[in-house]
């Protein structure tokens, strides 16, 4: 079992991170051997690999469709999320964007949706807006939620959360309004909120044209894990996936660069959103 950064040779680490970037887009910086060792240690022990090079060789033999590849990508994916994360994107959605969405059923994409808190939060905002302004939105609104991590998607589809997860960013009012209590420690999103959300497995470095066109894309706190070149490619393709005048949300530490011909910056005080030209 790999138990320390010293257990992974520089050559082995370089080979693994090249494989990971090619298959998932995730770019590991120098000297992250400890992260690989901690996340893959049990898997390596189970498979009886003594060196990371042996794992990479097995991955390359197995191809893109294999349980081993899926497990490795799942293990190396960061899934940090909470309800209404950063708050202002949801306020902007409700107060600025939704009032403009009266021509067709609104379609929203939550990219890198993790365990589901973001898409379900978006659905709650849609519900609040519909109650505030009955008939303002065309019926049939849809939220597509995607993630590369298969086991996380299964969790998200269940729409069930323990008390610790519920407490992260969710007000008691929203908890009582949009969740049903299954037990002392488990809460489930109510059907009228969860039914708007459709989860799909997707690697952002692959084509996402089959998802269709969107009015709003949330792609927050995921592009930081990609190289500048991969990030630029994803953003260009997301622009092509937006309807004219559609909106793109990025994470607080992320920004568009070199794409001023495709997007306008909309200052919202607080927060910003990018509008497709």
* C-alpha pair distances (Å), 190 with each of 85, 139, 141, 175, 182: 20, 19, 17, 10, 11
At 187, the pLDDT band (50, 70, 90 cuts) reads very high
Segment 143-174, tens digit of pLDDT: 999 999 888 999 999 999 999 899 899 999 99
At 117, the pLDDT band (50, 70, 90 cuts) reads very high
- With CA atoms as reference, report the closest residue to 143 among 60, 218, 228: 218
**For residue 89, what are the contacts with CB-CB under 8 A and spacing of at least 6?**
218, 220, 249, 271, 273
What burial class does residue 171 get, using C-beta atoms within 10 Å of its C-beta: 0-12 exposed, 13-18 middle, 19+ buried? exposed
Output Rg (C-alpha) for the chain, integer angstroms.
20
Q: Whole-angstrom Cα distance, residue 76 to residue 221?
A: 15
* C-alpha pair distances (Å), 253 with each of 15, 82, 147, 218: 29, 17, 20, 14
Segment 65-76, tens digit of pLDDT: 688 898 898 888
- Tokens linked to 133: 């302004």
CATH fold, domain 88-276, is Rossmann fold (3.40.50)
Q: For residues 5 and 31, is the Cβ–Cβ distance under 8 A? A: yes
The owner of tokens 């996380």 is 152
- Give me the residue spans of the domains in the chain: 5-76, 88-276
* CATH code of the domain made up of 5-76: 1.10.155.10
Reported as type and span, the H/E element at residue 198 is strand 197-201
Is residue 79 over pLDDT 90? no
Is residue 3 over pLDDT 90? no
């Amino acid at each position: 079992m790999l138990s320390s950064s010293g257990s992974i040779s520089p050559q082995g680490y370089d080979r693994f991170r090249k494989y990971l970037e090619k298959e998932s887009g995730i770019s590991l910086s120098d000297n992250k051997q400890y992260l690989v060792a901690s996340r893959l240690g049990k898997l390596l022990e189970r498979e009886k690999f003594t060196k990371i090079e042996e794992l990479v060789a097995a991955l390359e033999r197995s191809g893109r469709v294999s349980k081993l590849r899926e497990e490795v990508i799942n293990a190396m994916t960061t899934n940090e999320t909470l309800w209404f994360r950063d708050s202002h994107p949801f306020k902007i959605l409700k107060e600025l964007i939704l009032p403009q969405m009266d021509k067709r059923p609104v379609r929203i994409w939550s990219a890198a949706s993790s365990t589901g808190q973001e898409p379900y939060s978006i659905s709650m905002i849609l519900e609040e807006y519909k109650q505030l302004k009955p008939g303002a939105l065309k019926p049939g609104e849809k939220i597509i939620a995607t993630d590369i991590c298969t086991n996380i998607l299964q969790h998200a589809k269940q729409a069930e959360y323990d008390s610790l997860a519920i407490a992260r960013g969710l007000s008691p009012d929203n908890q009582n309004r949009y969740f049903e209590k299954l037990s002392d420690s488990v809460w489930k999103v109510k059907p009228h909120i969860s039914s708007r959300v459709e989860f799909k497995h997707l690697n952002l470095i692959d084509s996402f044209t089959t998802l269709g066109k969107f009015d709003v894309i949330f792609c927050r706190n995921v592009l930081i894990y990609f190289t500048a070149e991969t990030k630029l490619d994803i953003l260009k393709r997301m622009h092509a996936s937006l309807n004219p005048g559609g909106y793109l949300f990025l994470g607080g530490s992320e920004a568009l660069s070199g794409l001023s011909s495709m997007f306008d910056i909309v200052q919202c005080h607080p927060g910003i959103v990018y509008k497709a030209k």
